[in-house]
Amino acid sequence: MPNMTDDKQMTAPQITRSQSLVMGNWKMNGSISFNNQLLNEIVAGVVSVSAANMTAQLVVCVPAPYLAQAQGRLAETPVQWGAQDVSVHAKGAYTGEVSASMLTDFGCCWVLVGHSERRTLHAESDELVAQKAQAALSAGLTPVVCVGESLQERDAGLAEAVIKRQLAPVLALGPDAVKRMVVAYEPVWAIGTGRTASAQQAQDIHAVIRRLLPSSDHTPVLYGGSVKPDNAKTLFAMPDIDGGLIGGASLVATDFLAIASQ
Ligand code: PGA
């Protein structure tokens, strides 16, 4: 019979919407010295801003080789760290892949799955993304499932249908699994383009996603796509937007902190 400790390690916690979540996605950027400086600035900022009321939980999702660096620098700080992808396999002959248990070995709690760059550049299917979410959950990691339509799909009036199709195999994992995840809505046409969805456009899709989810208290839904200090406030004020997934602006400590302080 497994003991309680093992059980606990193998189950990701339920995640509530009570605290907003601001996650940085560094993508394939950084170096040991760049990361040191960025993490130092973020930690210093969080410590000084918390006095002035930073309510968001901050997480940085770093490239795999820098997980140990993030673990070392962020231990005993309020900033958490995560990975950007995970294998569906537990171990074996999968050259180049990283398993969920390897991530938890670092004390990692978060992992992005199904980012549009993985879906597009690595042909990840909706089903594979759901399998990755399941692999993460089974190891005790909180998966952040990214969904979003392309410009062509939006222009064809298919935005909602695409989101529903992408989420279907994830929702099929069951309500208990879904309460242990985060969903990030990232319209592909807004990623790295400087073109943000208007707060209303984002809210409309977030409301669609919210209606599909099993609980109004769990499964935060983040918005991502060219979030900057000057648009974060309006986006985060929308009722179904629970925080942000930040790419480019998460590489600049002052911008990341400003976004998280909205
Ligand atoms: P961006 O990226 O903020 O640079 O648009 C967001 C993302 O891809 O997660």
- Arithmetic mean of pLDDT, 133-148: 97
Residue of 1, 3, 6, 10 whose CA lies nearest to 134: 10
Could you give the 3-state DSSP secondary structure of residue 202?
helix
Tens digit of each residue's pLDDT (9 = 90 or more) over 27-85: 999 999 999 999 999 999 998 876 556 789 999 999 999 999 999 999 999 999 999 99
The residue whose CA is least distant from atom 7 of ligand 1 is 247
Residue keyed to tokens 């099993």: 214
Specify the pTM: 0.94
Distance 46 CA to ligand 1 centre (A): 21
What are 150-201's pLDDT values in tens digits? 999 999 999 999 999 999 999 999 999 999 999 999 999 998 888 888 999 9
Residues in the chain: 262
Residues 6 or more apart from 193 whose CB is under 8 A from it?
A: 225, 226
In whole angstroms, what is the distance from residue 145 CA to residue 167 CA? 9
> What domains are there in the chain, each with its CATH number?
21-260 (3.20.20.70)
61 close to 112: Cβ distance less than 8 angstroms: yes
Give the pLDDT confidence score for residue 53 in this predicted structure. 64
Q: Residue 2 — very low, low, confident or very high, per pLDDT cuts 50/70/90?
A: very low
* CA–CA gap between residue 141 and residue 139 (Å, rounded): 6
116, 188 contact by CB (below 8 A): yes
Ligand 1 pocket, 42 CB below 6 A?
Answer: no
Nearest CA to ligand 1 atom 6: 247
Percent of the chain with pLDDT over 90: 87
Q: Which two tokens stand for residue 67?
A: 């997980």
What is the token pair recorded at 197?
């969805």
**Ligand 1 center to residue 9 CA distance, Å?**
31
Amino acid 197: pLDDT: 87
Alpha-helical runs (H) found in the chain: 4-9, 32-51, 67-74, 100-105, 116-121, 126-138, 151-155, 159-171, 175-178, 199-212, 229-236, 253-260
Residue 186 catalytic? yes
At 210, the amino acid letter reads R
Tabulate helix, strand, coil % of the chain (nearest 5). 45, 15, 40
d(CA 26, CA 91) in angstroms, rounded, equals 26
Answer yes or no: is pLDDT of 131 > 90: yes
Average pLDDT over residues 192-216: 93
